[in-house]
């Protein structure tokens, strides 16, 4: 498709004529005909996803429900309280899914910081030792 669109553009054909000839939308033609558009599209899409994730985190309280951490949204994770209710992870469900479906999935979760999330999944730590090899106690 891209090669056909570029070829027709080089021949001087307008977007409208290309749309009619190839039976596609103007946005498809613009996507393929504009230099670096794929990269720009990916950057914009990633930014929109991150903004939506941050909105969901704000709706979930904007802080860790265990320790109250609220300094950096990137350090906050969604944790499913009931693994049997989990359809998909919130981050993976964002790709190609409707926002309402993602919002429903997020409502099945609590918001926790990365440290608390690791402690939920690994309550005894990695063999209950830190990097220096000394025994540590899990936070309660």
First to last CA, the chain: 58
Tell me whether residue 66 is exposed, middle or buried, using C-beta atoms within 10 angstroms of its C-beta: 0 to 12, 13 to 18, 19 or more: middle
Three-state DSSP state, 39: helix
Residue 95 within a domain: yes
Number of domains in the chain: 1
With tokens 């990695």, the residue in question is 126
Where is pLDDT greater, at 69 or 135? Answer: 69
Tens of pLDDT, residues 47-80: 888 899 999 999 999 999 999 999 999 999 999 9
Residue 51 within a domain: no
Distance CA(57)–CA(54), nearest Å, equals: 5
Q: Are 54 and 106 in contact (CB under 8 A)?
A: no
Residue 105 within a domain: yes
Residue 118: give the domain boundaries.
63-140
Residue 85 within a domain: yes
């Amino acid at each position: 498709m891209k090669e056909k669109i570029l070829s027709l553009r080089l021949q001087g054909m307008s977007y409208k004529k290309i749309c009619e000839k190839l039976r596609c939308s103007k946005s498809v033609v613009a996507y393929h005909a504009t230099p670096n558009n794929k990269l720009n599209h990916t950057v914009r899409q990633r930014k929109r996803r991150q903004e939506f994730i941050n909105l969901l985190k704000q709706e979930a309280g904007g802080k860790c429900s265990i320790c109250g951490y609220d300094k950096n949204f990137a350090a906050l994770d969604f944790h499913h309280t009931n693994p049997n209710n989990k359809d998909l992870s919130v981050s993976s469900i964002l790709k190609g899914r409707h926002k309402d479906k993602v919002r429903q999935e997020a409502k099945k979760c609590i918001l926790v910081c990365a440290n608390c999330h690791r402690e939920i999944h690994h309550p005894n730590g990695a063999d209950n030792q830190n990097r220096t090899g000394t025994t540590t106690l899990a936070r309660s």
